[in-house]
Amino acid sequence: MKRILHIGTGGTIAAILSDEGYVPGITSKELISQVPAIQSICETDSIQVCNLDSTNITPEHWIDIAKAVRKNYDLYDGFVITHGTDTMAYTAAGLSYLIQSSPKPIVITGAQQPYGSAQTDVSRNITDAFFYACSDESAGVRIVFSGRVIAGTRGRKNYTRSFAAFDSVNFPSVAEVHSNKIIRFIHDDIYVTPIFADGLNTNVGLIKLVPGLSDKIFDYIINHYDGLIIESFGTGGLPEYSDYFNLIKKAAQNGKLIVMTTQVPNEGSDLTVYKPGSVVKTSLHILEAHDMTSEAALAKLMWILKKTKDFDKARKMFYTNIDNDILYI
């Protein structure tokens, strides 16, 4: 029987009702005890990294989770992380760079309704997560939620209330779990040993362009981060009515790493299509996210900046495919 380590971080899946709404209040051990079906699937141990609403999860918590996996990696066959849904996609992306090429599954799951709710999805999601983690064919960082298995670099929460809250963006779901059966659409790459990163440079920001956004705000944000993700309009580009271009040019010359992407949910960016994007692409030292999610681009830039600020080295790392995070370059 497989041995799986459960790592609790809080979230709705561990929530209790308070006078101020739902708050995490159930420990990782208590949570597992509420789903007795898991005991017939595998042997489990539980540890608690934190017990937070995922709104309060930061990149430092991603690092803590990765450290917990690393410390226990040789002792278990897989890992299940229970997490709040609001920032789960960011954590999944972060872990995908902190723990690369893992031959063991590192599964993240949560719930839209807490255990005490009449329509809770806690039992289903936890059971599916452990079942997937016990499969010999499972590997790498994966979100398992409402029967879907999604690559950690491709997840995004697209629904606030529906049980099927997560979609796989610009990439197919890896698999589905139904009644303790796994239907695989893409087989996980099985590596020999994992690659653990030593940490992240968390001084990376993200800004969403809106019509008429002041270049003063833009300038402030650029100057206070080592790297910046810019979510532009459509296929991508910079408005010509303000000084964005020169601000980015100056920032890049000062060693800042800038990534252009799109705020459109699907199909990615292509800066070459229109003049506002083409000028940026051909004239500035910037990176383009293409089909990457913003969550993955943010986490990947944190990982890169921990290793280098050299543009050419960063460019090579950014465009290197890690767990199917970028396919169209």
- Per-domain boundaries in the chain: 3-196, 204-318
Q: Report how far Cα 252 is from the mean position of its chain's Cα atoms.
A: 26
Let me know: does 119 contact 88? Beta carbons within 8 Å.
no
Task: State the CATH architecture for 204-318.
Answer: 3-Layer(aba) Sandwich (3.40)
pTM summary value: 0.96
Instruction: State the CATH class of domain 3-196.
Output: alpha beta
Catalytic residue among 12, 85, 109, 202: 12
Closest CA to 324 of 104, 151, 102: 151
The Cα-based distances of 204 to 26, 38, 78, 99, 229 in angstroms read 32, 39, 30, 19, 8
pLDDT in tens, the chain (329 residues): 999 999 999 999 999 989 889 899 999 999 999 999 999 999 999 999 999 999 999 999 999 999 999 999 999 999 999 999 999 999 999 999 999 999 999 999 999 999 888 889 999 999 999 999 999 999 999 999 999 999 999 999 999 999 999 999 999 999 999 988 999 999 988 899 999 999 999 999 999 999 999 989 888 999 899 999 999 999 999 999 989 999 999 999 999 999 999 999 999 999 999 999 999 999 999 999 999 999 999 999 999 999 999 999 999 999 999 999 999 87
282 is annotated as an active-site residue: no
Bridge partners (DSSP) of residue 287 are 259
Let me know: does 107 contact 80? Beta carbons within 8 Å.
yes
